[in-house]
Amino acid sequence: MNKAEQSVLKVAHLGIAFGGLKAVNDFNIEIGKSELYGLIGPNGAGKTTVFNLLTGVYEPTEGAIFLNGEKMNGKKTHQMVQAGIARTFQNIRLFKKMTALENVKVAMNMSMKYSLGSAIFRLPSYWKEESEVNIKAKELLEVVNLGDKADFIAENLPYGQQRRLEIARALATGMKLLLLDEPAAGMNPTETAELLDIINVIRTKFNISVLLIEHDMSLVMKICEKIQVIDYGVTIAFGTPAEIANNPKVIEAYLGKEDE
């Protein structure tokens, strides 16, 4: 298989244990280029633990993670970002006192090429790159419908807009795989509908793959091409939205076993 044919993300037999308790066990997933994939399960199923493994927050005790064919095991979080994995969080983690534009520009820091001397003495190379970064950051804010909020302080934005700003900041890393951890949490129906449109736009515009954790099942069923369900750290189902919606194991995991 050549590089172009490889999956963007391939995870084989991934697992992690905390004090003898297996939080994730024998987890396997494969996501193709530009694919939108859902990871769902009841509270405490291990979904965020999977995200923490994929982003270097935790190191797996077993199994392997491959991004575009390159093994990621042992890499730190910043190395995962450099390799092409970016994420948002359940709890918003913005630089609250910075503007929306500054939040996006921070994520471009690793790609900046001007020298320390150029920055100190404000040489032409510094101003040229700063101008390019400003333009790119503003374009990303437009993508998430925040083009008119560039100069707003992040903490003063409404909740739904802060969620979208997190996505813009993740996009600014130039990732190949975007992990969205409950992006619709706390949103009203109008904000959720806008979010759905934005996710579809960025997947198409940037040709990236998306792995989504979400409790809003209507959003998951509308947007995801494939869905994987885990419970107690173990995969219990995989398939299309229609297959998952009618799977007895999934229904039991969410609603409990029906009394006979």
Tell me the per-residue pLDDT of 14-41, one tens digit each, with 9 for 90 and over.
999 998 899 999 999 999 999 999 999 9
Boundary residue ending a domain (121, 148, 173): 173
Q: Quick check: 3 pLDDT over 50? A: no
228 sits in which H/E element? strand 226-231
Boundary residue ending a domain (144, 173, 202): 173
223 shares its domain with 112: no
**CATH classification of the domain holding 34:** 3.40.50.300
Query: Average of pLDDT values for 149-160?
Result: 96
209 shares its domain with 159: no
Buried b (16+ CB within 10 A) or exposed e, 189-226: eebbebbbebbeebbeebebbbbbbbebeebbbebbeb
- Rounded to whole angstroms, the Cα distance separating 232 from 235 reads 8
Boundary residue ending a domain (173, 197, 215): 173
Q: What is the pLDDT of residue 116?
A: 59
Query: Average of pLDDT values for 154-166?
Result: 95
Instruction: Give the pLDDT band (50/70/90) at residue 123.
Output: low
Query: Average of pLDDT values for 135-159?
Result: 96
Stronger pLDDT, 189 or 260, i.e. the higher one: 189
Q: What is the pLDDT of residue 260?
A: 41
Note whether residue 21 is domain-resident.
Answer: yes
**Torsion angle, alpha carbons of 224, 228, 229, 232, to 10:** -140
Question: pLDDT averaged over the chain?
Answer: 89
Q: Quick check: 121 pLDDT over 60? A: no
Q: What is the pLDDT of residue 92?
A: 87
Q: What is the pLDDT of residue 2?
A: 43
Q: Quick check: 115 pLDDT over 60? A: no
Q: Quick check: 233 pLDDT over 50? A: yes
Q: Quick check: 258 pLDDT over 60? A: no
Query: Average of pLDDT values for 121-129?
Result: 62
205 shares its domain with 147: no
53 shares its domain with 155: no
- Rounded to whole angstroms, the Cα distance separating 221 from 227 reads 9
Q: Copy the structure tokens of residue 117.
A: 């001397």
Note whether residue 182 is domain-resident.
Answer: yes
Residue whose tokens read 């199923």: 45
Contact 67, 177 (CB under 8 A): yes
- Rounded to whole angstroms, the Cα distance separating 83 from 12 reads 19
Quick one: which of 200, 192, 195, 210 has its CA closest to 86?
210
pTM score of the predicted model: 0.88
Q: Quick check: 176 pLDDT over 50? A: yes
Tell me the per-residue pLDDT of 50-100, one tens digit each, with 9 for 90 and over.
999 999 999 999 999 999 999 999 999 999 999 999 999 888 889 999 999
22 shares its domain with 147: no
Torsion sign over Cα 46, 49, 55, 61: negative
State the residue range of the domain holding 161.
Answer: 96-173
Count of the separate structural domains present in the chain = 2
103 shares its domain with 79: no
- DSSP annotation of 152: S
Note whether residue 63 is domain-resident.
Answer: yes
Q: What is the pLDDT of residue 53?
A: 97
Could you tell me if residue 56 is left (phi over 0), alpha (psi between -120 and 50 degrees) or otherwise beta? left
Could you tell me if residue 259 is left (phi over 0), alpha (psi between -120 and 50 degrees) or otherwise beta? beta
73 shares its domain with 189: yes
258 shares its domain with 179: yes
Q: Copy the structure tokens of residue 85.
A: 């994995």
Note whether residue 90 is domain-resident.
Answer: no
